[in-house]
């Protein structure tokens, strides 16, 4: 009964006659239209700039707050060589890195990963953009902090950079290793635990009689920074390979694959 009533209603709907001339005019107008969809695609430069807007505002706020506290803390020490500026730089570095990891964990989680893989640019490229942005910004913070803490003294400037780079690179190495092996929501907690461990170790070394911030210990800081950066680069390459997205998953597998 319902099907008959529906058929009757459909037959009562007026259908205009087919006009072949109107169809041909539409085709002619479409041919004359200067449409180039390939020119409307997002370029790599636009993609890079656009990714800034997708990073959480909380991440930018935390990075700005930490940077301000670091610079204010250095200024409060009155730029004295024997002040607490060195430990302040060393402690701030892992925390800055942890703020970055919060954003990386957000885009690497399973629910978000499937959404991002439908975009034109792969998840690997989106992850790389964030790594470049965070690396550049944290490098600028390192230079600014070292410039203030060293009192514009060349030797102390490079020394201050090492005090930032060593804990920062070790923190990055641990977090990249976690992200490359842990895909669930616990990844951020593991990275937080690693950062807390580094902060505690730095404070313990400072409170002991070991002169970790003496000039003759700079070589050890440099070795630590070099090893940390080497491990970080290795882990980032591994993570990017398994975050390859649609193009790379045939060769390397998806991000769910166990590394």
Match 């034109």 to its residue by tokens: 120
pLDDT of 20 higher than 60: yes
Comparing 84-88, 174-178, 248-252, which segment has the lowest mean pLDDT?
A: 248-252
Ramachandran category for residue 253: left, alpha or beta (phi over 0 → left; psi -120 to 50 → alpha): left
Rounded mean pLDDT of 8-23? 74
pLDDT of 151 higher than 50: yes
Rounded mean pLDDT of 204-222? 80
Summary mean pLDDT of the chain: 77
Model confidence, pTM: 0.70
pLDDT of 27 higher than 80: no
Parse the chain into domains and list their residue ranges: 2-37, 43-252
Q: Two tokens at 149?
A: 């803490």
> Residue 99: helix, strand or coil by DSSP?
helix
Contacts with 231 (C-beta within 8 Å, 6 or more apart), sequence order: 169, 173, 176, 177
pLDDT of residue 197: 92
Contacts with 70 (C-beta within 8 Å, 6 or more apart), sequence order: 88, 89, 92, 141, 145
Contacts with 21 (C-beta within 8 Å, 6 or more apart), sequence order: none
Match 């991000």 to its residue by tokens: 255
DSSP conformational letter for 19: -
Closest CA to 63 of 3, 152, 13, 137: 137
80-94 pLDDT, tens digit each: 544 567 888 888 999
pLDDT of residue 59: 87
pLDDT of 259 higher than 60: no
Match 């002040």 to its residue by tokens: 83
> Residue 89: helix, strand or coil by DSSP?
helix
Q: Where are the alpha helices (DSSP H) in the chain?
A: 2-12, 20-32, 44-54, 57-76, 85-108, 110-116, 123-149, 154-181, 187-207, 218-242, 249-252
Q: Two tokens at 200?
A: 């505690």
pLDDT of residue 40: 61
R_g of the chain, CA atoms, integer Å:
28
CB neighbour class for 210 (10 Å; exposed up to 12, middle 13-18, buried from 19): exposed
pLDDT of 54 higher than 50: yes
Q: Two tokens at 176?
A: 């990249």
């Amino acid at each position: 009964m319902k099907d008959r009533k529906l058929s009757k209603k459909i037959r009562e709907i007026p259908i205009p006659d087919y006009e072949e001339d109107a169809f041909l005019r539409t085709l002619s107008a479409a041919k004359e239209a200067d449409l180039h969809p390939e020119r409307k695609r997002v370029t790599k430069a636009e993609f890079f700039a656009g990714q800034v807007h997708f990073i959480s505002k909380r991440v930018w706020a935390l990075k700005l707050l930490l940077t301000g506290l670091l610079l204010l803390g250095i200024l409060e020490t009155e730029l004295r060589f024997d002040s607490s500026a060195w430990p302040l730089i060393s402690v701030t570095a892992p925390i800055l890195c942890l703020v970055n990891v919060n954003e990386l964990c957000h885009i690497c989680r399973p629910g978000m990963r499937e959404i991002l893989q439908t975009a034109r640019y792969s998840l690997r490229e989106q992850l790389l953009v964030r790594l470049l942005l965070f690396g550049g910004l944290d490098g600028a913070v390192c230079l600014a902090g070292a410039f203030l803490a060293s009192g514009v003294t060349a030797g102390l400037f490079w020394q201050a950079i090492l005090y930032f780079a060593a804990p920062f690179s070790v923190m990055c190495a641990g977090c990249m290793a976690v992200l490359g092996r842990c895909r669930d929501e616990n990844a951020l907690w593991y990275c937080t635990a690693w950062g807390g461990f580094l902060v505690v170790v730095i404070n313990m070394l400072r409170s002991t009689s070991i002169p970790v911030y003496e000039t003759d210990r700079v070589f050890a800081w440099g070795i630590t920074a070099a090893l940390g950066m080497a491990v970080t680069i290795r882990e980032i390459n591994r993570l990017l390979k398994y975050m390859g997205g649609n193009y790379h998953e045939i060769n390397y597998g998806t991000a769910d694959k166990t590394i």
